[in-house]
Chain A
Amino acid sequence: TQLLEQSPQFLSIQEGENLTVYCNSSSVFSSLQWYRQEPGEGPVLLVTVVTGGEVKKLKRLTFQFGDARKDSSLHITAAQPGDTGLYLCAGRTGGGNKLTFGTGTQLKVEL
């Protein structure tokens, strides 16, 4: 069974602070995705990384895929209240459609 452990599980910070969320596994993934989920809604895809060592930036969000494709990180610079939500990583093995989701990180950014 593939497990994706996210840390921290909960994070409460002030507006303007930086933060990093980690997603770790002992399994190798062909690609890894990050989603954000807001209360009462479904997850929304933020990014997909496919190459070991790949770094992608989405405005204030920076995503990195580990060299061995077993882990990933999400760094948010100067967090804003609008960043509040549940962040989920999800890995895909092989070429199929099955996604294994991480344990989730609940982020709250306060004014």
Chain B
Amino acid sequence: DTAVSQTPKYLVTQMGNDKSIKCEQNLGHDTMYWYKQDSKKFLKIMFSYNNKELIINETVPNRFSPKSPDKAHLNLHINSLELGDSAVYFCASSQGRYGGEQFFGPGTRLTVL
């Protein structure tokens, strides 16, 4: 009965590769997010989608491309991975565009070698 799930849990890859992280929520929420948590545990919003519409797009390199096939799924594709992309990426979901409680997934630890 997982609420927000992410795959994979761990991802180790070489610089220059392209990789994707998948997120699914079964809470019936209409808004989903991607966050990046760096090595100092600082958590920063990257993107947010509401009903498949991009509503938050922070200053993120265009190597990062979110895709929302439906409101229960939000995937993150990263091209040409760099060492600085190493971090833990969290997916989250909430209901509504204005202030609902956000539920976070367990995170995907990405290591770029």
Contact = CB atoms under 8 A, between A and B. Distances in A.
Interface stretch (B12-20, B42-50, B66-74): B42-50
B43 to A, nearest CB: 4
A26 B100 CA distance: 24
A88 interface: yes
A7 interface: no
B77 interface: no
B45 A42 contact: no
A98 B55 CA distance: 10
A43 B41 contact: no
Given A42-B90, A42-B105, A101 B43 contact: yes
Interface in B17-56: 31, 33, 40-45, 48, 50, 55-56
Contacts, number: 60
A88 B35 CA distance: 14
Interface string A32-55: 000001001111110010000000
Given A31-B99, A42-B92, A45-B101, A101 B106 contact: no
Contacts of A106: 41
Interface stretch (A12-20, A73-81, A89-97): A89-97
B4 A97 contact: no
Interface in B64-113: 90, 92, 94, 96-107
Interface of B: 4, 31, 33, 40-45, 48, 50, 55-56, 90, 92, 94, 96-107
**Which 7 pairs show the lowest CB-CB distances between chains A and B?**
A42-B104, A101-B43, A95-B98, A104-B41, A42-B90, A43-B104, A42-B105
24 contacts: A37-B41, A41-B106, A41-B107, A42-B106, A42-B107, A45-B103, A88-B43, A95-B99, A96-B99, A97-B31, A97-B33, A97-B56, A97-B96, A97-B99, A97-B100, A98-B45, A99-B102, A101-B42, A101-B44, A103-B40, A104-B40, A104-B42, A104-B43, A106-B41
